[in-house]
Structure 1
Amino acid sequence: MIKKRYLMYISQNYSYAILRPLQAVIRAQGGEVYWFLDGNEVNAQFLKVDEQRLFSIDAINSWKPDAVFVPANLVPNFISGLKVAVFHGFAAGKLNNRGRLDHFEIRGCFDLYCTQGPNTTQPFEALAIKHKYFSVKETGWPMLDPLFTLAVDNPYIVPSDTRRTLLMCSTFSRKLSCAPHLFSLISHLAAKGNWRILVQFHPKMSSEIVNQYKGIISDNLTFVETDNVIPLLQAADVMLCDTSSILEIFLLLRKPVVTFRNRTNAAYLLNVETEEQVESTIEHALTYPPKLMTSIEAFCQQLHPYNDGKSSERVLAATNALIDNPDRERVRKPYNLIRMLKLRRKLGYWKLKCWR
């Protein structure tokens, strides 16, 4: 039996954690995995010693992957293999520069979308009917396979410290980020020392803000830079956030989130508009109010109802079903000339081969 080949195509450090559970399943089933790192925002030092890397488009096309897994919006059509979207986060209600929900923007790159739950599956199924060149399969999200299993060596859990743990996360967008507005408050809370505070920002956060928060590191506050946020989420009792989709992952642990100027008006969030409201709302969240927890549960069933740790298996099964059915009826993907020219320029690849 010929082993199937799978390429992990990534451009951000957080993509390692998204795709490694899938890599583990592929290896367990006898498949081969290589990684391709696109751009300078992904750090090769996060690759593990047993993870293999391809360094060029020519190398990818010589290896000829059967499928390419992409936790991003774009992937070149000039590399071989079925293109599979596995998403870099949840649909957090963010609008793109055209005023449309970015999570559901179709960019003409993928053969298969592996969706996370009913609230993403239904919109993508409607889009599949409209566009006709891609398939949709609800699988759950590979990144979350380890979420419900607590590692014994979690570095952010300190049994000797009995204080409750607050995790602050923030997106990088100046318009949406809570980090610039809440620095003074977080500095004050860290000085009080009532809670243990963990801080983790989107990797695109400005260095100025990052350095501000690093400047208040203490026994009460830890600033974390990591390619895997799951141990942080598991260690916290409550989250303080804005619109970052990481808050939705945290909710799947059935823990409350306090948001700063979130515009969704969602019943499963405790939203505040001013800095003065934050501390008391966190205290309220730590009581796990029943009405809030009921709303969180209902939301989780729509967002990601799978807690069996087998989303990666479902993604691989859906992918293999398409690989093993090469004669399936389908409409060809668009040529995507402008996007592909930009990717060719970025990657320095000008050969005319187009795998689509």
Structure 2
Amino acid sequence: MKVILFCQNNYAFGILEPIKEVLEANNDDFIWFVKEHIYNDFPFKSDKHTTKVSVLKAYKSDVILVPGNEVPHYLRGLKTQIFHGLAGEKKGHFRIRHYFDLYLTQGPYFTNKFNELKEEHKNFDVIETGWPKLDIYGKDKNKYSNYKAELLKTYSAEKVILYAPTFSPKLTSGPHLINQIKNLANKHAEYVILLKFHPLMAQEWLDAYKILAENTPNIIFQEEKNIIKFLLIADILISDTSSVIYEFILLDKPVITFNSISEKINWENSTDYNALENLVKTNLEKDPFSKSRAYINNQFHPYNDGKSAERMVETVRSYITKHGVPEKRNLSFLRRLKIHSIFGKS
């Protein structure tokens, strides 16, 4: 089986890495497609890879795995959406753009909604597999425990707090929490605060938080691209409307959000940015939402066996065995124009 691992943003690397490992174990052939603007961040340069769509066309793939919203319709291969997050309430998550033949969903909440859309549009299939980025939860949840111990020792701290807001200008808490994060760090030396921002965050806020970290001993601005390491070591997450909330809740740890637009909030959500300090204390000490987190685990990602990447690979293999490999995907004129504007003409 010939597979394209399709990356438009650098968060795709951590999502696709478990699949790469399965493909290698199976001796399947694969190539990475990496958009030029993220090439410097690409961590697998010893693997076969390209930044050119023309190379992909010549490659004649069987399957294209895409943790993003677009893929060239004219490429050969089963165009498969594997998603870049778990935030179903975000604008566009359930938008059908007609680029994909197959949607591999993370859990029943997503599967049920996409099956409803399948009945409406009748031009794609839906199969639930789990999400490969979270395979480490089932395989090696304690992978970074030594790193956490050293971090706490270095800063003479007791707890690790992770602040990971969304980038969306309408939803982000970034502009509203910078002073509260500063005060929290200054008043509580027992906390070490990690800042992990989305790669699309506005540059002015990236710069502002970097300056804050440079001037505050127990605040660390994290440049590492894959957030999983920090999810695993953090004791509590501060965010807003971001899919990282669900990734963290699946670790059964407390979350604080500000002005979240999620449909079913099973964690601490506040409209008062000035309440940050008290909310952190309450949730670390009492964890009042511990019982309500079960809904997220059951509906968003019920797989804890660490084998979602394996299921994805075997699912697409079985699918093309049964249905064949699409040579291209038919699109409307406007959709074709959009693909041409992003990736060039066929």
The question of a shared fold, defined as TM-score above 0.5 by the shorter chain, is answered with yes
Letter matched to residue 221 of structure 1: I
SS at 2:322 equivalent: coil
Render the CA deviation track for 1:191-221: whole Å, top value 9, x for unaligned: 2223110011111111111111111224301
CA deviation vs aligned residue, 1:136-169 (integer Å, no higher than 9, x gap): 1110001111134122576455252441111001
Q: In the alignment, is the contact (CA less than 8 A) between 1:256 and 1:288 conserved in 2?
A: no
Amino acid in the other structure paired with 2:30: V
CA contact (8 A) 1:6 1:34 kept: yes
Q: CA deviation at 1:342?
A: 2.4
Q: How many residues were matched structurally?
A: 337
Gaps of 5+ in 2: none
State whether residues 73 and 339 of structure 2, in contact with CA within 8 Å, keep that contact through their aligned partners in structure 1. Answer: no
Q: Deviations over 1:23-66 (max 9, x none)?
A: 101110110111111352x2344232432212322211211111
Q: 1:16 aligns with which of 10, 13, 16?
A: 13
1:184–1:12: structure 2 CA closer, same or farther, 3 Å change rule? Answer: same
**Correspondence for 1:140 among 113, 130, 146:** 130
Deviation of 1:6 (Å): 0.5
* 8 A contact 1:117–1:139 mirrored in 2: yes
The 1:288/1:336 distance shift into structure 2, 3 A limit, reads farther
Matched residue, 2:73: 77
Q: Which moved more, 1:332-341 or 1:10-19?
A: 332-341
1:203 corresponds in structure 2 to 199
Equivalent residue in structure 1 for 2:177, among 178, 182, 189: 182
**Alignment check: 8 A CA contact 2:152 2:159 kept:** no
Conserved 8 A contact 2:31-2:47: yes
Q: Can you list the C-alpha shifts for 1:153-188, whole angstroms capped at 9, x where unaligned?
A: 764552524411110011111211101001111111
Alignment partners' CA distance in 1, 2:252 and 2:231:
11
Q: TM-score, normalized by length of structure 1?
A: 0.89
Of 42, 54, 58, the residue aligned with 1:58 is 54
| Aligned-pair CA distance for 1:343 | 2.2
RMSD: 2.0
Residue number in structure 2 paired with 1:99:
none
Which shifted more, 145-154 or 292-301?
A: 145-154
**Identity in percent:** 34
Per-residue CA distance 1:267-309 (angstroms, 9 max, x = gap): 41101111221111111111243x5111102221111000110
Contact 1:240 1:259 in 2 (8 A): yes
2:30 — aligned with what?
A: 33
Normalising by structure 2, report the TM-score: 0.92
Q: Which residue of 2 aligns with 1:165?
A: 160
| 8 A Cα contact 2:144 2:233, kept in partner | no
Equivalent residue for 2:282, pick from 281, 284, 287: 284
For residues 116-131 of structure 1, what are the structure 2 equivalents within 5 Å? 116-131=106-121
Q: Which of 85, 96, 101 is residue 111 of structure 1 equivalent to? A: 101
Cα distance change, pair 152–209 in 1 and its aligned pair in 2 (3 A): closer
**Distance between the aligned counterparts of 1:350 and 1:265, measured in 2?**
39
Q: Distance in 2 between matches of 1:45 and 1:246?
A: 20
Of 189-198 and 7-16, more deviation after overlay is shown by: 189-198
Q: Secondary structure at the match of 2:58?
A: helix
Partner Cα distance (2:83, 2:76) in 1? 20
Corresponding letter in the other structure for 2:18: P
